[in-house]
Chain A
Amino acid sequence: MSQIIMKQKKKSPVNALTAIILSAILPGAGQIAALRIRRGLLLLGSVLSIGGLLLWRIQVLGRLAEGFWPTLFKALDKAGFFVGFGLLAFTFLWIWIAVDAGRQTNPKKQYGNSIFFLILLVFFTIGWQISEISILKLTSDANEAWVPLSKILWPWESAVTRDTDTLQGSADIMVDSEGEPPAMPVKEEGLPYIRSEPNFGRLSSLDEDNEIIPGTRITLYGENFAPNTRTQIWWSDSIGNEFRPRFKGEYVSTVTDADGSFELEMIMPYRLIPPSARGIQIHQVMARQVSEIGPLKPSEPLILTIELIIETIFMGMMATLFGILFSVPISFLAARNLMSSSPITMAIYYITRTILNIVRAIEPLIWALIAVVWVGLGPFAGIVALTIHSIAALGKLYSEAIEGINPGPIEAIQATGANKLQTIMFAVVPQMIPPFVSFTIYRWDINVRMSTVIGMVGGGGIGFLLVQYIRLLEYRSAGIAVWFIAITVSILDYVSAEIRQRFV
């Protein structure tokens, strides 16, 4: 009450004009002169930081231009709206602060705060530009994201598989070299057979403009394949690397006739021959029929995912267990009500608290990087990382639970003539159980969720597999892992909420 009265009585030692001039020269100076010191400092700080940030962004946008004006024009050219708005708002702000300084000398008009909305608006505009937010990008390449996304969202086609049987015939082809063409393959009864005519030629290549120069047109003749079956064409270079040639973006393939024969024309594919390659280059063309045999069975990604999700859940459990074991004794050292009896114990309290806060501030992923160096790749590193973080987090939560204990029941039990142990069992433990269970379950929940990503840095668990699949562009397999993570985490959420509700 008294504060408000005092503020209203505070009289400005300068008149409005002086304040306006002062603030026009240095924003905020007029407000300070009118004894609105905090407001003045805040405005001065805002103007300085906005000015600094604008200069920096203009410099970044106008990089490589020489001199002030060329830099500004280049920046205006690249991000006209941002730079224009920024400079206008900055000027406007400067003027407004001068006007505001005049108003501050009048005690009745001191409480205009809309100027701070303008300052916030400018800050968010700068933030928008610094973080390179681009609505355009969200939409322009959205269709690119759809293919992997759709595979991740519905990956179940790759969850099952069948054993396969392969029928294959191959023929040698001499490419890009002079000499005796290789021998024609020998036809054997009942075995798949193909030959190429001609069996020598030039591969497709690229000119200076990266335009394709088509290679030699060859005809493939195949016999003794399974009838009426799709047949894939594969190519193998001189060092045995296999790939599937494409024509107009589609893999080259054909379907055999009723006798199991085919005839197919194709252009020899593009393959970069290293300049160091010497002598005659022999490639191979192959025709392959892959047929599925036997019943459906879980695919390898599915099996791996299940194995690793189990590993992940147990990693979370083990880390929580170790976390409890270490954090319970530590939490006593970090409980103010237990440690406040002497300066030494208070010192221990502060040291413990500080260490816990530092350890907790470092994310488990970073601890995992350290743990991988310490104990090597694998789930144990993940457990070590999660344990360290859990000790710090649980230590703090438990110690707060100890601090929050009601001393009333303790003195009541003591008054009955109970000994120390009985007092702890009857008055302390019942009070500790709900927060203890609640925090532990909460931590377990966090640990399992964390162990799904801790594999990304080599800490074991499903994260490792997920990152691998994504890097190999196997989006369906990655999708299976994502689904299992999502299912596990939701079940865990539900279970932990249920348990907490029961105990608390």
Chain B
Amino acid sequence: MLEIQNLSKVYPDGTQALKNVSFTVEDGEFLVIIGLSGSGKSTLLRCINRLVDPTEGQILFDGKDVTAAEGTELRLIRRKIGMIFQHFNLVDRSNVLTNVLSGKLGYTNPWSSLMHRFPSESKEEALRALRKVGIEDQKNKRADELSGGQRQRVGIARALMQNPSMVLADEPVASLDPVLAHTILGYIEQLNQENHISVLCSLHYLDLVQRYATKVIGLKDGEIVYRGTREDIQSMTDEQFKEIYGEEAERVSAGTLSGGIH
């Protein structure tokens, strides 16, 4: 279970990215965060595994205080939280298998991992993870030889290697076309339902939100402006969605939005 209490983040340049954000994620939930770019979604996700240090507030992950954790303790927390990125963040020049295995770094003896040596169980696990996302045959290719969809599957396999109890997904399908978006979110949903991994995912197409989310929060200028259950989202209208996104959003992304709404 993840509990976030009064979380705020002010960047050194004075930008207030998060204001007093509080919410909880129960085990097994698929929580979707919606909001304009710049609304604080990425900062919020990165605060949870401390890629970004929050200014104020508390994050409790399975009862452990993430905000106070340092060093080894922080790394032990991080390895239970998988992360999937909009731009995949693979190491382009390493092959697919190495990229997946790097998900296991938190569990591996640091010295042997520096020599790129992993236990054989880890390698088998990596192959299983790749099979699960359907790209086992690509294991020896360099990451930059893959297509966008394949790369995100590697990202999922990497997160899977951590045996996470929670996965953070920062706009996981924003760089992909709509068909691939369903495939990728399908894999994430599979993790959520079969492995009982809770998911925190930021998205910005309403139909995707309606299809996958069990709970939604809306962020605007770093504040939570909307909380909804699965039922609330199903009945959500175009107008309500636009309200969260703000009036500017209407003009900029009207085409994309209407495409997603019908």
Contact = CB atoms under 8 A, between A and B. Distances in A.
Interface of A: 406, 408-409, 411-419, 421-422, 425-427, 430-431, 433-434
B70 to A, nearest CB: 12
12 contacts: A408-B85, A411-B51, A413-B105, A415-B49, A415-B78, A415-B83, A415-B168, A416-B162, A425-B113, A430-B91, A431-B91, A434-B93
Contact of B90 (A412, A417, A419, A421): A412
Given A416-B102, A418-B75, A430 B83 contact: no
B113 A417 contact: no
Given A416-B106, A417-B106, A419-B110, A427 B91 contact: yes
A415 B51 contact: yes
Interface string B70-104: 00000111111111010111111110001000111
A422 B104 CA distance: 11
B114 interface: yes
B158 interface: yes
Contacts of A421: 110, 114
A501 to B, nearest CB: 14
B93 A433 contact: yes
Given A411-B51, A430-B94, 11 more contacts: A406-B92, A409-B89, A412-B85, A413-B91, A417-B78, A417-B106, A418-B102, A422-B113, A426-B91, A430-B92, A431-B93
A291 B174 CA distance: 87
Nearest to A341: B12
Nearest to B155: A412
Given A417-B75, A418-B102, A418-B106, A412 B114 contact: no
A431 B114 CA distance: 16
A168 B205 CA distance: 104
A418 B106 CA distance: 5
Contact of A408 (B82, B89, B162, B168): B89
A409 B226 CA distance: 32
Contacts of B94: 426, 430
Interface string B151-167: 00001001001100000
B90 A409 contact: yes
B89 A416 contact: no
B11 to A, nearest CB: 14
A347 B114 CA distance: 34
B248 to A, nearest CB: 23
A408 B87 contact: yes
A409 to B, nearest CB: 5
Contacts of A433: 93
Interface of B: 46, 49, 51, 75-83, 85, 87-94, 98, 102-107, 110, 113-114, 116, 155, 158, 161-162, 168
B110 A416 contact: no
B166 to A, nearest CB: 12
A416 B85 CA distance: 13
Instruction: Give 4 nearest A-B pairs by CB, closest first.
Output: A417-B106, A417-B79, A408-B89, A412-B89
A242 to B, nearest CB: 69
Nearest to A415: B83
B91 A416 contact: no
B113 A414 contact: no
A425 B117 CA distance: 12
Contacts of A418: 75, 102, 105-106
Nearest to A408: B89
A422 B110 contact: yes
B87 A422 contact: no
Contacts of B51: 411, 414-415
A150 to B, nearest CB: 51
B9 to A, nearest CB: 16
Contacts of A434: 93
A430 B99 CA distance: 11
A357 to B, nearest CB: 29
A415 B155 CA distance: 12
B90 A415 contact: no
A41 B249 CA distance: 49
Nearest to A427: B91
Contacts of B93: 430-431, 433-434
A422 B78 CA distance: 14
Contacts of A426: 91, 94, 98, 102, 105
B216 to A, nearest CB: 24
A416 B102 CA distance: 8
Contacts of B103: 416
Contacts of A422: 105, 110, 113-114
A421 to B, nearest CB: 6
Contacts of A409: 89-92
Nearest to A424: B114
Name the residue in B81, B83, B93, B116 with the highest tally of chain A Cβ atoms < 10 Å from its Cβ. B93
Contacts of B110: 419, 421-422
A412 B83 contact: yes
A414 B78 contact: yes
Contacts of A431: 91-93
Contacts of B114: 421-422, 425
Contacts of B87: 408
A183 to B, nearest CB: 89
A273 to B, nearest CB: 79
A408 B155 CA distance: 12
A414 B83 CA distance: 10
Contacts of A427: 91
B257 to A, nearest CB: 28
Contacts of B81: 415
Contacts of B158: 412, 416
Contacts of A414: 51, 78
A485 B114 CA distance: 42
A417 B91 contact: no
A344 to B, nearest CB: 16
A416 B78 contact: yes
Nearest to B76: A417
A139 to B, nearest CB: 56
A361 B162 CA distance: 51
A419 B89 contact: no
A422 B77 CA distance: 17
A364 to B, nearest CB: 32
A419 B79 CA distance: 11
Contacts of B82: 415-416
Contacts of B116: 425
A431 B106 CA distance: 21
B75 A419 contact: yes
A431 B90 CA distance: 11
A436 to B, nearest CB: 12
B97 to A, nearest CB: 13
Name the residue in A414, A415, A422 with the highest tally of chain B Cβ atoms < 10 Å from its Cβ. A415
A413 B85 CA distance: 12
Contact of B105 (A408, A411, A417, A430): A417
Contacts of B161: 416
Contacts of B168: 415
